[in-house]
Structure 1
Amino acid sequence: MTAQPRSAPPGGASPSVVTHLPSRPPLPFDPAAPAHERGLALAAALPVPLRTVLASGRVERRPRFGDRGFDGVTEEWTPPDGVSGQHALMARRALDELTGSILAPASPDHLLARVLALLSHYPAKGTAPEVEHLVALDWAEDLGEFPAWAVDAAARTWRRTQKWRPSIAEMRALCEEACAPEWALARRLSSIAVAGSASGGDGAGEGTGHGRAGRLRALAGGAVRRMG
Structure 2
Amino acid sequence: MTARTRGATITPLQRSLATASLATAFDPNQPAPQRRIRLAAALPPVLQQLLAQGRIDRRPRFGDNGFDGMIEQWTPPDGITQAQAALARQSLEDLHASVLLPADSDHLLGRVLTLLSHFPAKGLSPEIERMMALDWAEDLGEYPAWVIDAAARHWRRSRKWRPSIAEMRALCEELCAPERGLADRLGALAAAAPPEFHATESHATDPRSLTAGALRRMG
TM-score range, shorter chain: 0.7 to 0.9
SS of the counterpart of 2:142?
A: coil
Distance 1:193 1:2 in 2: 18
SS of the counterpart of 1:195?
A: coil
Gaps of 5+ in 1: 5-18, 207-228
Q: Which amino acid aligns with 1:182?
A: E
SS of the counterpart of 1:102?
A: coil
TM-score (norm 1): 0.78
Q: Which amino acid aligns with 1:52?
A: Q
SS of the counterpart of 2:189?
A: helix
**Total equivalences in the alignment:** 189
Q: Quick one: which of 35, 42, 46 aligns to 1:45?
A: 42
The residue correspondences of 1:155-194 to structure 2 (distance < 5 A) are 155-194=152-191
Q: Which amino acid aligns with 1:146?
A: Y
SS of the counterpart of 1:185?
A: helix
Distance 2:113 2:44 in 1: 41
Q: Which amino acid aligns with 2:148?
A: V
**2:143–2:172 contact (8 Å) kept in structure 1:** yes
**1:30–1:38 contact (8 Å) kept in structure 2:** yes
Residue matched to 1:29: 26
Residue matched to 2:213: none
**1:53–1:79 contact (8 Å) kept in structure 2:** yes
Calculate the aligned-residue CA RMSD, in Å.
Answer: 2.2
TM-score (norm 2): 0.81
Gaps of 5+ in 2: 5-9, 201-219
CA deviation vs aligned residue, 1:168-222 (integer Å, no higher than 9, x gap): 00100111111110000001001000012x2539x8x99xxxxxxxxxxxxxxxx
Max Rg structure:
2
Distance 1:20 1:189 in 2: 17
Moved over 6 A (4+): 1-4
SS of the counterpart of 2:101?
A: coil
Distance 1:144 1:104 in 2: 10
Residue matched to 2:130: 133
**2:3–2:83 contact (8 Å) kept in structure 1:** no
**2:115–2:156 contact (8 Å) kept in structure 1:** yes
Residue matched to 1:12: none
SS of the counterpart of 1:61?
A: strand
Whether 1:200 aligns to 2:193 is no
**2:3–2:11 contact (8 Å) kept in structure 1:** no
SS of the counterpart of 2:191?
A: helix
CA deviation vs aligned residue, 1:128-163 (integer Å, no higher than 9, x gap): 111011100000000011001001000000011001
Report how far residue 107 of structure 1 moved.
1.4
Whether 1:93 aligns to 2:90 is yes
Q: Which amino acid aligns with 1:157?
A: H
SS of the counterpart of 1:122?
A: coil
Residue matched to 1:143: 140
SS of the counterpart of 1:76?
A: strand
CA deviation vs aligned residue, 1:37-57 (integer Å, no higher than 9, x gap): 110101111111111110111
**1:2–1:86 contact (8 Å) kept in structure 2:** no
Residue matched to 1:15: none
